[in-house]
Amino acid sequence: MPLQESIRHDFPILDQSIQGRPLVYLDNAATTQKPVAVLEASARYYRQINANIHRGTHYLARAATEAHEHARKRVAKAINSSSPDEVIFTPGTTAGINLVADTFALSGEITKGDSIVISALEHHSNIVPWQMLCERTGATLEVIPCNDEGVLDQDAYTKILEDKKVKLLALTWISNAFGTLNPLADMIPAAKQAGALVLIDAAQAIAHTHVDVQQMGADFLVFSGHKIYAPTGIGVLWGRAKVLDRLPPWQGGGEMIKEVTFEKTTYNELPFKYEAGTPNIEGAIALAAAFDYVEAIGMEAIHEHESMLIADAAEALQSIKGIRIYGPADRSGSLSFNLEGVHHYDLGTLMDQMGVAVRTGHHCCQPLMARFGTTGTVRASFALYNTSTEVGALAEAIQKAAMMLR
């Protein structure tokens, strides 16, 4: 059952017109819009309890600290963490991945002869940090290839696990470029059986599917708040306490310490061991509000609604002459396509002039684009506030642009 269009009124930005046309916002894989509940949570912090946390004894400091740590507990509940102490607040997905990569480099757990496994579907933020780690340690980077549908080759994955000394699998849950949904239920146990730790990039998954870190069986999970209706600049690294405890701190400074002398510093316990300096207090509070908002609607209802939209969009686009749609039929979140003889940037620009906001380019997945022989695609990505009417507007804009550009 489609979500009610009244939900759109929770998002003030969607009420505006762009160049005299209603805004059709289909760039949700890049960032989502923010509901009033999240905007009010941000404003309430600055208007009522703005203070630094964990330090002061005055009322505002206590209130801010309580709100921030409530946010940690709220996130832990949302992803079913066994403890709030396993929830590390970061600036976003990229920072979370870099935290893990850098602490592995410092720990000496990954050395020459070891392998780190990623996939052909990865965002640059889940490629470059591991390349840097390999350069620093002498480890090798192994890539699981994908087939012509943008689905990972599981036989090749099995062979990598059998032939290499794999220490870490770093895998996206849902491809930001093609919407491919990777089979974590099979891939994570295989990596664990091979003796590897597992990091899951849930940047795209967090807004589209239920996350249960205990059931999943991974060791790390990262995501960004702005992908799930919260502000930019706030994200989460979830990690198993027994793994995080044995890794060294990432950054030095206030909050991550127990005691400092000029001769020696002792480090704080989780989660503060990895949260040096003043955190994004407002962002964490707003992230908690975003999870409250999503929970009130229900992830099952959101998933059903978005699945219907993306299936209808794929069907509508397939009727357009010269269209090429990338990725499997069973996709989540994003629909990438190109129009024969038309550059993706030109197509996206004309669609924008018709009030349809899509993303063009390589989507920070240049190796994946190269695999498919293109410099980029047009990507329409969906959220809980998108409607069937907007799917029609998407198809109509492509049709009109095609007539103008051919």
CATH number for the domain spanning 194: value is 3.40.640.10
Same domain, 64 and 79: yes
- C-alpha dihedral sign at 319, 320, 322, 328: negative
Dihedral through CA 215, CA 219, CA 220, CA 221, nearest 10? -20
* Rounded-to-integer distance, Cα 330 and Cα 343, Å: 26
Same domain, 128 and 112: yes
Same domain, 161 and 246: yes
Same domain, 347 and 275: no
Same domain, 25 and 84: no
CATH label of the domain that carries residue 9? 3.90.1150.10
- The reported pLDDT for the residue numbered 76 is 98
Neighbouring CB atoms inside 10 A of 234's CB total 25
In order of 35, 208, 252, 334, 357, the CA distances from 389 in angstroms are 20, 20, 51, 17, 14
DSSP letters spanning 164-232: S-EEEEEEESB-TTT-BB--HHHHHHHHHHTT-EEEEE-TTGGGTS---HHHH--SEEEEEGGGGTS-T
Same domain, 214 and 332: no
- The reported pLDDT for the residue numbered 102 is 97
Q: How many structural domains compose the chain?
A: 2
Q: Catalytic pick from 134, 146, 364, 365?
A: 364
Cα Rg of the chain, angstroms: 22
* Rounded-to-integer distance, Cα 342 and Cα 80, Å: 46
The reply to whether 146 belongs to the active site is no
- The reported pLDDT for the residue numbered 1 is 47
User: Angle of helix 299-318 relative to helix 281-297, nearest 10 degrees?
Assistant: 80
Same domain, 128 and 47: yes
Chosen domain end from 235, 267, 295: 295
Domain that holds residue 24: 5-30+298-405
Same domain, 302 and 290: no
Chosen domain end from 295, 329, 354: 295
Cα-flanking dihedrals φ and ψ of residue 87, to 5°? Answer: -95, 115
Same domain, 242 and 355: no
Q: Both tokens of residue 134? A: 């390999």
Q: Both tokens of residue 92? A: 């976003």
- The reported pLDDT for the residue numbered 258 is 80
Chosen domain end from 248, 270, 295: 295
Same domain, 224 and 185: yes
Same domain, 269 and 313: no
Q: What is the pLDDT along the chain (406 residues), one digit of tens a residue?
A: 457 677 999 999 999 887 788 899 999 999 999 999 999 999 999 999 999 999 889 999 999 999 999 999 999 999 999 999 999 999 999 999 999 999 999 999 999 999 999 999 999 999 999 999 999 999 999 999 999 999 999 999 999 999 999 999 999 999 999 999 999 999 999 999 999 999 999 999 999 999 999 999 999 999 999 999 999 999 999 999 999 999 999 988 888 778 877 888 887 889 999 999 999 999 999 999 999 999 999 999 999 999 999 999 999 999 999 999 999 999 999 999 999 999 999 999 999 999 999 999 999 999 999 999 999 999 999 999 999 999 999 999 999 999 898 7
Same domain, 260 and 247: yes
